[in-house]
A and B are shown apart, each in its own frame.
Chain A
Amino acid sequence: MTYQPQKNFGTPESRSDEAVSLTIDGREVTVPAGTSVMRAAAEQGTSIPKLCATDSVKSYGSCRLCLVEIDGRRGTPASCATPVEPGMVVRTQTPQLAKLRKGVMELYISDHPLDCLTCAANGDCELQDQAGAVGLRDVRYDVQATHLGQDKDHSNPYFDFDPSKCIACSRCIRACDEVQGTLALTMEGRGWDSKISAGFASDNFMGSECVSCGACVQACPTATLVEKKVVEVGTPERSVVTTCAYCGVGCTFRAEMRGEQLVRMVPCKDGKANRGHSCVKGRFAWGYAQHQERILKPMIRKSISDPWREVEWDEAFAYTASELKRISEKYGRNALGGITSSRCTNEETFLVQKLVRAGFGNNNVDTCARVCHSPTGYGLKTTFGTSAGTQDFDSVEDSDVILIIGANPTDGHPVFASRMKRRLRGQDGRPGAKLIVIDPRRTDIVRSPHIEAQHHLPLRPGTNVAVLTAMAHVIVTEGLANEAFVRERCDWDEYSHWAEFVSQARNSPENLQPVTLIDAEELRAAARLYATGGNGAIYYGLGVTEHSQGSSTVMAIANLAMATGNIGRRGVGVNPLRGQNNVQGACDMGSFPHELAGYRHISDNKARSLFENDWGVTLDPEPGLRIPNMLDAAVDGVFKALYCQGEDILQSDPNTAHVSAGLAAMECVIVHDLFLNETANYAHIFLPGSTFLEKNGTFTNAERRIQPVRKVMTPMNGLEDWEVTQKLAQAMGLNWNYSHPSEIMDEIARLTPTFAGVSFVRLDEAGSLQWPVTADAPDGSPIMHIDGFVRGKGKFVVTDYVPTDEKTGPRFPLLLTTGRILSQYNVGAQTRRTENVAWHPEDLLEIHPVDAEDRGVKSGDWVKLASRAGETTLRATVTDRVAPGVVYTTFHHAVTQANVVTTDFSDWATNCPEYKVTAVQISASNGPTEWQEEYEALSTRSRRVETGIAAE
């Protein structure tokens, strides 16, 4: 399709149920009450000239271009700021209005450079469009004092700010305030001196609080804020709607293209997850897709000490199949396994697990969700009956109390965080929701512009269960439980057993205070607020799951929600914020070794025979190995071959030394990825992958929303990832003949009851669908457990606090917890290959001033971070965001390898690693550790590619 900008209705949509009819330019239109005249006109196809209005922010009424005439009203009101009324008669085009608008435009243009032909926004500029729309042909003013000729601000790596082109409409300021909620921008000066400023006059964009979400660029009607890429290559000529491949929010974007060149990613207003917003990663950080370090040809080698040798695809598939067969024959079929990735599509993931189950002949398939949200799978399935969040993102608009535990949404899930912040700030006279944050760190959302958590409980890492049980103690013993809900929806006996347990004096906040380090009165107040403050919604992340009691914590959260009746309607619920784009999908697709797609255990004869009949094979009814079990088995010498798609276990999994020992013990490690990642240092076969821009498929976000991923350019490596897996399967003798991922989805739908109504055709029609999509719910299910739990009665599970085996002591007195930062993503393989490194060039260790002083550490100093598992060095930053006794770092950089330090303790139920609690010591350092030096040498050696020598 040719390029069309997204339709702009001028002012936001009204959610009123009341309909109002009016007449605009002789035509009747009916819109919801509260709609502006401007929007009503736009809905019937009438375009009223405008400059300061855009539908992402509230009306402002400053440009005076959108004037209209209304029968019975004096003057010419601004249509953006005038709500519709029944029977209103509006005229948008009259000689008087034309004259007024022309006068306004003349003033604007008198202070605007007339360089349209060489301007980056030429052809995509609202000022240019409006000058044309009002028929401006001449500017009579000979103005001496203007604001032209000012210096441009090039500091942001992705967009430029040219103040000379600014028309002071303040759309950028309002977008930053209302949409993003950072409030980084302001207007300085008056009249000709009016200037958008990112903080103080001395600040540029990069030095300011700007988080580079792109909302201001999106809102700007001129080339004042414009993408550097548009400056470089010109405006787009077509667009394709697709889904972001970063976090679990799953933003819908328009990939705006020139030929096969991506010009920009623009958040889609129709996107149901993001509602037109974006963050620095999805909006701008896609340069990795064309990065020079991408590997585009398959490579093989006999030994990891050999250099790589480039081969053609056919040779790669034949060699891979022969190696897998050789190992299967020599060591038995259980010596093989595979890892699916939450970064890949549902269809790709489904094929990898199918290859393992049907081709390798075992169930040794796992997913990287093992190391993030496997406890969510266990905990929510046990308590509610299905492994998924209960709400859609829109639900937060109806929340009265938001409880965030172990999640840092402004960094990890920034676009949803902006929606959450909007609700926390309150809007249009409606007071904001109350906020409870349970986190060892003072995350940004605890205190940010116009937001202050009512309660921040900075617990000792590893004591989530104790904190939640203490909250349950307060709710039950103070009579705050919703017993009517429990009697109707849950098993009363199980509730009674649980209530009796939590009521015990040993579970009181006072008794647990020495363990949790949370002030008992503060905890009581937080529990009372959650139980009695109206609609209570819990959002949680990896700070819940990545613990030795991760699954218990998930169940403790579910217990709280059920006990207070906060399940089954808008505004409430239990919401796991998924780390990667397709964590939900990877789990849904049967990636776990014990269950088939749709969370049915492999020993379930009925479910298994469904797959056996469809695939024409016999499946092993016993569960297979999980990732940590695979590594153990490899060290034991019985697990010999691994197909690892889109996942870098060496960097992302805990206790790097153990992971590398496991990988080194294998005879055939197949890495299928974009880059020679860290795992590839131990690989024998490298199959180049394709980016999300180069393939078709679907991702499923944290709200169970299945969304299309659409190919916008030819894969640089020649094949989409699903094709690579299919060709490998064919080389192994499997009769697979998919011609398009839609056929894979048809198979998924055929075999998975909750996906029964999903197809690419339906997804194209609806835009996205939230599973379950069934005959009863053909349009999907935004909210779950409305009339009852999926499992029947909600199940209360007693969750007794068990301290982790990872103990602090004299040698390792501090607790390390790890997390992520806004600008980087996961192991950084993608974002480190973009300009995002400008924000976060290295992992830093946050340490409290008291702990820093004890060790003589200052901000910027190199420190050695040592645990019982290993040691690394990185630079320190001294901050009271962390409590005394707690240190924190990110794991985005391979140079640091924070996971050298983390241990292989794990969740009792799922083996999800305990990333969030490691006993460590910090000491001064003047250089890399022995591990870092050895690893760097290994990486250099391992990444050599044989160069062909020309024959004489």
Chain B
Amino acid sequence: MTSEERLVHMANQIATNLATDAAPVTAVADHIQTFWDPRMKRMIFAHGSDGLSPVAAAAIRLLADAQNGG
């Protein structure tokens, strides 16, 4: 597994486990924001939505938009 593939796997795993949260997209975004280092975040932002579950992809978009927006 390459690092990028691993990040996709991790993001999907987080999304699956937070699926029962009241607001899963926000919960996944918060989790990644809290625990991933900046390079990992940059890599997943750059990756696009390929292979990501809808919740994971939405969360990463949310996070990327928040960072880009300052």
A633 at the interface (CB under 8 A from B): yes
Contacts of A623 in B (CB 8 A): 34-37
In chain B, positions 33-63 with a C-beta closer than 8 Å to chain A are 34-40
B interface residues, how many (CB within 8 angstroms): 21
Does A625 contact B17, Cβ atoms closer than 8 Å? Answer: no
Smallest CB gap from B3: residue in A:
A632
Does B35 contact A594, Cβ atoms closer than 8 Å? Answer: yes
Asked whether A364 and B17 contact (CB < 8 A) given A632-B6, A633-B3, the answer is: no
B20 at the interface (CB under 8 A from A): yes
**Chain A, interface SS category:** loop
**Chain B, interface SS category:** helix
Asked whether A908 and B17 contact (CB < 8 A) given A623-B34, A633-B3, the answer is: yes
Does A334 contact B10, Cβ atoms closer than 8 Å? Answer: no
In chain A, positions 599-623 with a C-beta closer than 8 Å to chain B are 601, 603, 622-623
Does A501 contact B38, Cβ atoms closer than 8 Å? Answer: no
Contacts of B19 in A (CB 8 A): 800
Contacts of B20 in A (CB 8 A): 501, 798, 800
A483-B33 Cα distance, complex, nearest whole Å: 35
A594-B32 Cα distance, complex, nearest whole Å: 11
Q: Mark A762-788, 1 if CB is under 8 A from B, else 0.
A: 000000000000000000000000000
A802 at the interface (CB under 8 A from B): yes
A443 at the interface (CB under 8 A from B): no
A549-B20 Cα distance, complex, nearest whole Å: 14
A170-B58 Cα distance, complex, nearest whole Å: 71
Contacts of A549 in B (CB 8 A): 17
- Smallest distance from the beta carbon of B28 to chain A beta carbons, Å? 10
A629 at the interface (CB under 8 A from B): yes
B64 at the interface (CB under 8 A from A): no
Q: Which of A633, A805, A904 contacts B39 (CB 8 A)?
A: A633
> How big is the A interface, by class?
20 to 34
A548 at the interface (CB under 8 A from B): yes
A798-B38 Cα distance, complex, nearest whole Å: 29
Contacts of B31 in A (CB 8 A): 909
Does A552 contact B17, Cβ atoms closer than 8 Å? Answer: yes
A549-B35 Cα distance, complex, nearest whole Å: 17
- Smallest distance from the beta carbon of A230 to chain B beta carbons, Å? 52
Q: Looking at A334, A623, A624, which has the most chain B CB atoms within 10 Å of its CB?
A: A623
- Smallest distance from the beta carbon of B8 to chain A beta carbons, Å? 13
A632-B2 Cα distance, complex, nearest whole Å: 8
In chain A, positions 792-818 with a C-beta closer than 8 Å to chain B are 798, 800, 802, 805
Interface pairs (24), CB distance under 8 Å: A334-B39, A497-B22, A552-B17, A593-B37, A594-B34, A601-B34, A603-B34, A623-B36, A623-B37, A629-B37, A629-B40, A633-B3, A636-B3, A798-B21, A800-B20, A802-B13, A802-B16, A805-B9, A805-B13, A904-B1, A908-B10, A908-B13, A908-B14, A908-B16
Q: Which residue numbers of B lie inside 8 Å of A, CB to CB?
A: 1, 3, 6, 9-10, 13-14, 16-17, 19-22, 31, 34-40
Given contacts A364-B37, A623-B36, A909-B17, 15 further A-B contacts (CB under 8 A): A334-B39, A552-B17, A594-B34, A601-B34, A625-B39, A625-B40, A629-B40, A633-B3, A802-B16, A802-B17, A805-B9, A904-B1, A908-B13, A908-B17, A909-B14
